[in-house]
A and B are shown apart, each in its own frame.
Chain A
Amino acid sequence: MTETLNPTDLRALLQQTGVPEVLERLDRELVGLAPVKTRIHEIAAYLVVDKLRRELGLLATRPVLHMAFTGNPGTGKTTVALRMATILHRLGYIRRDHLVVASRDDLVGQYIGHTAPKTKEVLKRAMGGVLFIDEAYSLYRSENERDYGQETIEILLQVMENQREDLVVILAGYEDKMEQFFTLNPGMRSRIAHHIRFPDYTEEELVAIGKLMIAEQNYYLDEAAERAFVEYVRCRKRLPNFANARSVRNAIDRFKLRQAKRLFERAGQVTPDDLRRIAEEDIRASEVFRECEELMEGGQDAP
């Protein structure tokens, strides 16, 4: 007797896991990132098929799920990693929906014999879930021979290989530095199945993200403020140290500060609408506009 499957089964199985819900939330709540979303959809689809194959007894080894997220600061690597943990959990590839974030400080020790227990401690805490290593390239400092980061990488590689059932590792970092990190640690690259690139946001996407953040915090921009905000984003994007969505978030925090100051200076009665509204002047007061102008003038003067 052979089992037959009609095409709806696959969809039903997917529905059962609750993964589409997470994917849809990913689509809705995260602006832009089209290539990332496609890739995650692919991974999710693959994992469902893999699961089905396993249930039918077709030979399937556990897929390697370790990932690398590369991209500029503020492109949403951590946020996507959190969602990834949920997806993997719903599909039953990790036992717990939890994500442990670690950086060099948590993993590498200060003196001989300090590194291994520290790394193992973090690995143990992450087991059953996802270990997210932020700025993974900082683990390896090629210029310093006596650096203990190498030891961490060795332990990490060993666990990544031997305890695939217990742990999914996601390495994250800026693209060029991660590239260098992988060339120096060839074992690491081959053990990572999914390399996902996070593209920079466009101006429109940044504005959309900003509006989403503002709405989430129960504020709103009036019409003039909205125009100013678009201009603000355009200026901020040109200035150095631009960190995509993170810069936008910081900017919104400062708008809120200025709004509060404005309300105090005006004194008198305050309506609920006043508390929610961010006005043009809150945005225009920003240093960014001045710096941007300077930059433009400088650019024109230059030959």
Chain B
Amino acid sequence: MRIHQGTFSFLPDLTDEQIERQIDYILRNGWSVSIEYTDDPHPYNTYWHMWGLPMFDLKDAAGAMFEFKKCREAFPNHYIKVNGFDPSPMWQAQRVSFIAHRPTQDDPGFRLKRTLWSDGRVQKYGLEPYVADKPAGERY
């Protein structure tokens, strides 16, 4: 099962060249790039680990691409995303975020988790990734 989070997630995986051009777009807008990775694919998991610091003062996409490749080397079986943070007044927020790398193996998917609520007459549903059964770092 493919997780759809952030921009471009319904498109086929981006090639390196396309990623570089997206980073170039981020930089051209004056936003700063940061790279994050995780092995917990739950759609509500918004707290990913940071790969280094956000890259301020970057002029060219090659620098961010260098870090992205380093991150992919270190975590080939993690999700890696590229973010663009807009520091301008009134925004000061993330403007772009897309998954640039996915685990190479097939994702086993999600299980439906049913919970009985209140006096047992209400059923609540949730999603739980199968990989989350394993401890962090050993998933995939």
Contact in complex: B66, A96 (CB < 8 Å): no
Task: Flag whether B52 is at the interface (Cβ < 8 A).
Answer: yes
Majority DSSP secondary structure for residues of A touching B:
loop
**A127 contacts B57, C-beta separation under 8 Å:** no
**A149-187 to B contact mask, C-beta < 8 Å, 1/0:** 000000000000001011100000000000000000000
Interfacial chain A residues near B59, Cβ < 8 Å:
96, 98, 125, 127-129
B84 CB to nearest A CB, Å: 16
Min Cβ gap B12→A in Å is 26
Contacts of B52 in A (CB 8 A): 117
B107 within 8 A of A: no
A130 to chain B: closest CB distance in Å?
11
Query: Chain B: which residue is nearest A117 at the CB level?
Result: B52
Say yes or no for A95: interface residue by CB 8 A criterion: yes
B55 is an interface residue with CB less than 8 A from chain A: yes
For the complex, what is the distance from the CA of A74 to the CA of B21, rounded to whole Å? 41
CA of A125 to CA of B53, assembled, Å = 13
A residues in contact with B64, CB < 8 Å:
124
Tell me the smallest distance from the CB of A253 to a CB of chain B, in Å.
Answer: 31
Complex CA–CA separation, A138 to B61 (angstroms): 30
CA distance A167 to B64 in the complex (A): 14
For A, the interface residue count at a CB cutoff of 8 angstroms equals 14
A-chain residues with CB within 8 Å of residue B67 when the two chains form the complex: 124
The docked-state distance in angstroms from the alpha carbon of A117 to that of B51 is: 12
Closest residue to B52 on the A side, CB-wise? A117
**Residue numbers in B under 8 Å from A87 (CB-CB):** none
Residues of B within 8 A of A167 (CB): 62
Question: A117 — which chain B residues lie within 8 A by C-beta?
Answer: 52
> B58's contact among A125, A163, A165, by CB below 8 Å, is which?
A125
Taking CB atoms, residues of chain B closer than 8 Å to A95 are 60, 62
Distance (whole angstroms) from the CB of A50 to the closest CB of chain B: 21
- Kindly state whether residue A123 has any CB partner on chain B within 8 Å: yes
Instruction: List the A side residues contacting B63 at CB < 8 Å.
Output: 123-125, 127-128
With a cutoff of 8 Å between Cβ atoms, the chain A residues found around residue B55 in the complex are 124
- The CA of A128 and the CA of B63, in the complex, are separated in Å by 8
Instruction: With both chains docked as a complex, state the minimum distance between the C-beta of A116 and any C-beta of chain B, in angstroms.
Output: 11
Q: Which chain A residues in 78-129 approach chain B with CB under 8 Å?
A: 95-96, 98, 117, 123-125, 127-129
Bound together, the chains give a CA A135 to CA B105 distance in angstroms of 49
The residue in chain B whose Cβ has the minimal distance to the Cβ of A123 is B63
Q: Which residues of B contact A96 (CB under 8 A)?
A: 59-60
Across the interface, which residues of A come within 8 angstroms of B66, CB to CB? 124, 127, 163, 166
- 1/0 per residue, CB under 8 A from B, across A14-36: the answer is 00000000000000000000000
Interface residues of B in 51-84 (CB under 8 A from A): 52, 55, 57-64, 66-67
| Residues on A with beta carbons closer than 8 Å to the beta carbon of B58 | 124-125, 127
In the assembled complex, the CB of B77 is this many whole angstroms from the nearest CB of chain A, namely 24
Shortest C-beta distance, A76 to chain B (Å), equals: 25
The answer for the CA separation of A123 and B64 in the assembled complex, in Å, is 11
Q: With CB as the reference atom, state the residue of chain B lying closest to A167.
A: B62
Task: Give A96 Cβ to nearest chain B Cβ, in Å.
Answer: 6
> How far apart are B23's CB and chain A's nearest CB, in angstroms?
11
Mark B residues whose CB is within 8 Å of A.
52, 55, 57-64, 66-67
Instruction: Show 6 A/B contacts (Cβ-Cβ < 8 Å), sorted by A.
Output: A95-B60, A95-B62, A96-B59, A125-B63, A128-B62, A165-B62
The residues of A with any CB-CB pair to B shorter than 8 Å are 95-96, 98, 117, 123-125, 127-129, 163, 165-167
Q: A95-B60, A127-B58 are in contact. List 6 more A-B contacts (CB 8 A).
A: A124-B63, A124-B66, A128-B62, A128-B63, A129-B59, A165-B62
Give 6 closest A-B pairs by Cβ, nearest first: A128-B60, A124-B63, A127-B62, A166-B62, A127-B63, A127-B60
